[in-house]
Amino acid sequence: MKETSHDIAANLGLDGKHARQRRFRRWWMFILLFVLAGLGARMVLGRKPQELNYVTVAIERGDLVVTVGATGRLEPLKQVDVGIEVSGTILSVEVDDNDYVEVGQPLAQIDTTRLEAVRDQSEAALASARAMVLQSQANVKEAEARLARLKRVYQLSGGKAPSQDELDAAEALRSRVLADEASASASVQQAQATLNVNLTDLSKAIIRSPINGVVLTRLVEPGQTVAATFQAPVLMTLAEDLSQMELRVDVDEADIGLVREGQTATFTVDAYPERTFQANITQVHYGSLTVEGVVTYTTILRVDNSALLLRPGMTATADIVVSEHRDLPLVINKAFRFSPTQSQKSKRSRGLVGAILPKPPFGDSKPIEEDSTGNTKKVWLLEQGQPVPHTIRIGESDGLRSEIVDETLREGDLVIVGMETAKSST
């Protein structure tokens, strides 16, 4: 059965009844959206407004101390490694760690049995050499007497006897025995020198302290064998006087131009983190030290350690005072890094749409560019609730505060170092 045109229009929603229903629903949707937009705007506009709070710090007068930081190690003024020049077995050790010793005091002794045997052998060789000298001297006397007798016979015989060959042989014999005497005398000197060496080695079997000081480290025990071959073995380490010490620090090449002899410094060690020690620079080395591409220069500081709190080898962190200034106008360095944003300066109205739509994050706004070349810096002062830029010239800085070298700012002026947002009270 065929559908009529009226039925087809009804099925497609093209008749007048359905058109009125669509227009009715559309109007209700418009009304609903308008009501929702009104409610949203009321909620947004009814929220508590946000205000900017600027964090400020006042310009003040004070003292400025410029320092250079460095690290290093504490060492004794004089440290001696006590070794031994002869080989042998340690017979006894007379001192221990931390013992105080004096010059010439016995520290240790090695077994002298072998050294004494070598000494006796050298003494015997010396006695033998001396006997050879006596024998050579007797031969010389015999040869000289024979030569003198032959010459007398030759003179009495009028040159007829003895023959010239006999006289020449007697002269040669005399020369040989004189040479033997000289050789025997040289052997005596050689034997005496060898004996002196052996006696010296025997005297060195007792190791004595070369300085007045304290034993830092003892490296040997009784019964231990030491061999003095190419290098003397170290038996112990002595420090002369721990009441005065030196601190060796490595100063970076960027700071070495500020450091010189006579400057004072303070330093701390891990053993006493709450205590500060004093020191004075006595020497700044010209030679450099490069470690992993970092160039440093060794600087030596004299330290008073009368209380004996500091010990050799401690790691110290030092602050060298390179300059001190009194009663200067100072500005905090944090003020140089502050810059208000463009959005916060303009503060234009955003309207209803702007009130409804979310605001961009605070940090998305582009900061105002500032001129900071050389010793010229830009700071912002809070004047009548608004940030106002000021350009100033600064002098020396200790890393936290800087000296103001012109009269652009006065004591008590408030410089802005930051800002924060907070909801205003209702």
Contact status, residue 249 vs residue 302, Cβ threshold 8 Å: no
Give the domain range for residue 367: 51-62+330-423
Picking from 65, 77, 187, the residue whose alpha carbon sits closest to that of residue 126 is 187
| Per-residue pLDDT at 406 | 82
- CATH number for the domain spanning 103: value is 2.40.50.100
- CATH number for the domain spanning 393: value is 2.40.420
Distance CA 264, CA 266 (A): 7
Residue 138 and residue 121 share a domain: yes
User: DSSP assignment, residue 4?
Assistant: P
Average pLDDT, the chain: 84
Residue 287 and residue 222 share a domain: no
| Per-residue pLDDT at 51 | 63
Residue 232 and residue 87 share a domain: yes
Residue 223 and residue 104 share a domain: yes
* pTM for this predicted structure: 0.64
Tell whether the model's pLDDT for residue 9 goes beyond 60: no
Residue 229 and residue 86 share a domain: yes
Residue 404 and residue 268 share a domain: no
Contacts 24+ apart (CB under 8 A), 269-276: 269/74, 269/310, 269/314, 269/315, 269/316, 269/317, 270/314, 270/315, 271/309, 271/311, 271/314, 272/309, 275/309
- CATH number for the domain spanning 289: value is 2.40.30.170
| Per-residue pLDDT at 42 | 66
Q: Give residues with Cβ within 8 angstroms of 24, minimum separation 6.
A: none
Residue 106 and residue 119 share a domain: no
pLDDT greater at residue 381 or residue 352? 381
Residue 338 and residue 404 share a domain: yes
Residue 220 and residue 200 share a domain: no
Structural domain count of the chain: 5
- Tally of CB atoms within 10 A around 377: 21
Residue 173 and residue 28 share a domain: no
Tell whether the model's pLDDT for residue 380 goes beyond 60: yes
Residue 102 and residue 32 share a domain: no
Residue 72 and residue 17 share a domain: no
39-50: average pLDDT: 60
